[in-house]
Amino acid sequence: MTRLSTRRLLATVAALSCAACSDGNAPTPHLRPVGRIAFQMRKDWVWDIYTTAPDGSDLKNLTNSAEDDLRPAWSVDHTRIAYESATAPAGIWVMNADGTNRHPILPGYSTQHITWSPDGSRIAFTGTDGSGYKLFVVNADGTDLRDISSGIDFPGMPDWSPDGKRIAFATGGVSNSDIIVMSADGGEIVNLTPNATHSQETDPAWSPDGSRIAFVSTSHNGTNYEVFTMKADGSDWRQVTDVTGLQATDEQPHWSGDAAEIVFDRSISQSAQVYTIKLGAGTLRTIGQPVSGNASW
């Protein structure tokens, strides 16, 4: 297991503030339901998928399984959740928003991250069947599995654009990683962070209107993983979290459906927990209990 995937397994979610997360010339927002936050949480050494209201109330265990359930990903309309389960047949599963109708769609695959197409017809994920991590696209029923990695080394953390035309992801590597945008069919590759040669950029997440991308970078001091945003063309970087003095790691930002809040992972030593923040306010709010992470909104 790589250092990056190990970090993410224990990661938790903390919140970010962005004073101006959209631009004056941004397209009309394609807003999603604000909905509930889904995340993984470990109790009694087993990971389950939970959801909670945005304020942290009304915590519900959706899977309550004897085996680990990890990495939940909401469909854009918030009616379904895709996730990885160790329940036989282990692999990618899908369930309704209330935890009913849990069923496998792609057995035999271990995932690093899952994302839905805006129309809910397809799922993109980075995963492996044992022969190395690749970027795949598959129909939501598990049919028509395709590798769209285009030979890129360890593509990670994909996120589907709100217009359905592109997928953003991070290139792999421990010493260097960039944010890549590629057409959803696997062509037209663009590196958004080619000049950040002394840092790692990873964990991209499109804003609901597609005008900005939240991501994680070590560019602040070369060591700490912190959340930034940038325009969809890679310009106008804005640092939005600062873990200086905390010995913490911030990861996996996700925007709320109305773009008013963001949820992301923060891990400090062996502690990991989910947080949210209202953009511009700067006040963190904890969601769930340690150890938790991999939140989806």
pLDDT tens string 172-184: 655 578 999 999 9
Measure the CA–CA gap between 92 and 241, rounded to whole angstroms: 32
pLDDT of residue 94: 98
pLDDT of residue 172: 67
Residue 8 Rama label (left phi>0; alpha psi -120 to 50; beta): alpha
Measure the CA–CA gap between 246 and 243, rounded to whole angstroms: 5
pLDDT of residue 31: 59
pLDDT of residue 279: 73
pLDDT of residue 175: 59
pTM equals: 0.84
Measure the CA–CA gap between 40 and 9, rounded to whole angstroms: 10
CA angle 71, 132, 271 (to 5 degrees): 35
Low-confidence stretches of the chain (pLDDT < 50) are 1-30
| Structural domains in the chain plus CATH codes | 3-15+34-296 (2.120.10.30)
pLDDT tens string 201-223: 999 999 999 999 999 998 887 78
Give the type of residue at 283: T
- Two structure tokens written together for 211: 């005008």
pLDDT of residue 19: 33
Averaged pLDDT of the chain = 84
- Two structure tokens written together for 210: 């597609």
Q: How far is CA 87 from CA 66, 68, 91, in A?
A: 8, 7, 8
pLDDT of residue 133: 83
8 Å CB contact between 64 and 57: no
Residue 221 Rama label (left phi>0; alpha psi -120 to 50; beta): alpha
8 Å CB contact between 15 and 254: no
* 3-state secondary structure labels for all residues of the chain: CCHHHHHHHHCCECCCCCCCCCCCCCCCCCCCCCCCEEEEEEECCEEEEEEECCCCCCCEECCCCCCCEEEEEECCCCCEEEEEECCCCCEEEEEECCCCCCEEEEECCEEEEEEECCCCCEEEEEEECCCCCEEEEEECCCCCCEECCCCCCCCEEEEECCCCCEEEEECCCCCCECEEEEECCCCCCEECCCCCCCCEEEEEEECCCCCEEEEEECCCCCCCCEEEEEECCCCCCEECCCCCCCCEEEEEEEECCCCCEEEEEEEECCEEEEEEEECCCCCEEEECCCCEEEEEC
Within 10 angstroms of residue 59's Cβ, the number of other Cβ atoms is: 13
pLDDT of residue 48: 97
pLDDT of residue 192: 94
